[in-house]
């Protein structure tokens, strides 16, 4: 291994910046919801999770990244973050309920 290699070379779990970590987390969340069904449901589930569990600093960071083009975000994560940024209160949960889904969580619950 060359001395000029970054510690993150080849390891997707080591993040260079906070933005890298936020992108990774958003993609992980969207990957889970994508595995559960249709894209529209995955977008809403991802948006609901991010809106419910990410703190304001995390949201500001991912919104700034989105405004800069959203590089690295999966299509579902990108759409979900756009929905969180643009949503009026209650519209994400209303969309889930329209599809017969409910997140089963309330804001402030621990996802872990």
Instruction: Give the tens place of pLDDT for each residue, 2-30.
Output: 443 333 445 556 668 999 999 999 999 99
In the numeric block, the tokens 């419910």 are attached to: 52
User: What burial class does residue 44 get, using C-beta atoms within 10 Å of its C-beta: 0-12 exposed, 13-18 middle, 19+ buried?
Assistant: buried
pLDDT at res. 1 = 39
44 phi and psi angles, rounded to 5 deg:
-65, -40
Which of 61, 48, 60, 66 lies closest to 19 in space, CA to CA?
A: 61
Which of 63, 67, 93, 80 lies closest to 28 in space, CA to CA?
A: 80
pTM given for the model? 0.71
pLDDT digit string (tens) for 53-85?
999 999 999 999 999 999 999 999 999 999 999
Q: Which residues contact 107 (CB under 8 A, 6 or more apart)?
A: 51, 52
Q: Which residues contact 87 (CB under 8 A, 6 or more apart)?
A: 47, 51
Question: 51 and 84 in contact (C-beta within 8 Å)?
Answer: yes
Both tokens of 11, joined, read 């390891």
The fraction of the chain above a pLDDT of 70, given in percent, is: 69
pLDDT digit string (tens) for 83-99?
999 886 566 767 777 77
């Amino acid at each position: 291994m060359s001395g000029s290699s970054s510690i993150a070379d080849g390891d997707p779990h080591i993040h260079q910046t906070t933005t890298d970590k936020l992108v990774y987390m958003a993609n992980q969340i969207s990957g889970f919801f994508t595995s559960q069904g249709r894209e529209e449901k995955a977008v809403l589930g991802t948006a609901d999770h991010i809106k419910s569990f990410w703190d304001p600093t995390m949201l500001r960071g991912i919104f700034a990244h989105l405004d800069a083009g959203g590089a690295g975000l999966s299509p579902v994560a990108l759409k979900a973050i756009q929905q969180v940024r643009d949503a009026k209160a209650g519209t994400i949960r209303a969309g889930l309920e329209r599809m017969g889904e409910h997140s089963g969580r309330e804001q402030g619950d621990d996802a872990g």
